């Protein structure tokens, strides 16, 4: 069985850019997971973050995560990088943010009949596609060169499935999908460090009521 290394695939795509600086729409689930992704991508792309997460079924939680995303992006834009000392910042292109309409019923309608599926199963795959489809649609409509998602940073997310879905919706909308597995090369570990540096709120469950009910309150992992 040929296992695709999506981290290397991303590196190949970036290497092929040469001196070009394309636009990229990054679907983001939360500030901590966007941290590593933006650190990598903002060196090579003009990135706009798309905050589309109707799976977060608690409005207070949704607003808290959105506020942290905004605060983080403002901080790195002001620093022009991700090193708070300002001494080791690399080439950096400013980051923008687009907030989508928040309607948890979109999620509940999409996963109807799959409420009792275990975490990481078919219900999650439906949720992946819902969010990636919105990213692909927005990227096509607004003329972005590429789109991708922060979701592959989480050790609890199925990177192969995310990339499979990403490629599928990219084909449907005729827009380029940037393959990724952001957890590779200590990407997840780096997100923990950046979260500490920028004092980011790190949730301990994905977002929907089903994931919240299945997650121990002592869980020590950001699972977007």
Check if the beta carbon of residue 56 is closer than 8 Å to that of residue 33.
Answer: no
Contact 220, 125 (CB under 8 A): no
User: Rounded distance, CA 117 to CA 110, Å?
Assistant: 13
Assess whether pLDDT exceeds 60 at residue 222.
Answer: no
Q: Residue 15 above 70 pLDDT?
A: yes
Ramachandran angles phi, psi of 163, nearest 5°:
-70, -35
E strand map for 43-194 = 46-51, 96-99, 146-149, 176-177
Region 109-128: mean pLDDT is 92
Give the domain ranges of the chain: 21-214
Q: Any idea which architecture 21-214 has in CATH?
A: 3-Layer(aba) Sandwich (3.40)
pLDDT mean across residues, the chain: 92
The pTM score is 0.93
pLDDT digits (tens, 9 = 90+) for 73-108: 999 999 999 998 878 888 899 999 999 999 999 999
Can you state the angle between helices 159-173 and 6-16, rounded to 10 degrees? 40
> pLDDT at position 209, please?
77
Lowest-pLDDT range, 18-22, 153-157, 201-205, 219-223? 219-223
Backbone angles phi, psi at 190, to 5 degrees: -65, -35
Whether the pLDDT of residue 221 is over 50: the answer is no
Q: List b or e across 50-76, with b for residues whose CB sees 16 or more CB atoms inside 10 angstroms.
A: bbbbbbbbeeebbeebbebbeebbebb
Q: Is the pLDDT of residue 218 over 90?
A: no
* Residue of 129, 109, 117, 107 whose CA lies nearest to 207: 107
CA 61 to chain centre: 17
pLDDT given for residue 91 in this prediction: 87
Amino acid 220: pLDDT? 38
For residue 6, what pLDDT is reported?
A: 98
Distant-in-sequence contacts of 78-82, Cβ < 8 A, 24+ apart: 82/35, 82/38, 82/39, 82/194, 82/197
């Amino acid at each position: 069985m040929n296992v695709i290394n999506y981290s290397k695939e991303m590196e190949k795509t970036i290497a092929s850019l040469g001196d070009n600086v394309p636009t990229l729409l990054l679907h983001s689930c939360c500030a901590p997971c966007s941290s590593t992704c933006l650190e990598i991508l903002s060196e090579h792309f003009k990135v706009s973050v798309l905050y589309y997460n109707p799976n977060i079924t608690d409005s207070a939680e949704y607003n808290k995560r959105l506020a942290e995303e905004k605060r983080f992006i403002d901080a790195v834009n002001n620093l022009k990088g991700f090193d708070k000392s300002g001494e080791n910042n690399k080439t950096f292109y400013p980051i923008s943010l687009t907030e989508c309409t928040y309607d948890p019923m979109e999620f509940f309608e999409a996963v109807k009949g799959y409420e009792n599926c275990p975490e990481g199963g078919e219900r999650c795959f439906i949720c992946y596609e819902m969010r990636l489809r919105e990213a692909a649609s927005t990227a096509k409509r607004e003329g972005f060169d590429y789109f991708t998602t922060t979701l592959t940073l989480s050790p609890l997310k199925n990177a192969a499935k995310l990339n499979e879905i990403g490629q599928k919706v990219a084909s449907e909308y005729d827009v380029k999908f940037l393959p990724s597995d952001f957890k590779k090369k200590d990407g997840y570990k780096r997100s923990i460090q950046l979260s500490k540096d920028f004092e980011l709120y790190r949730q301990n469950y994905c977002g929907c009521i089903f994931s919240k009910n299945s997650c121990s309150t002592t869980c020590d992992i950001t699972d977007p």
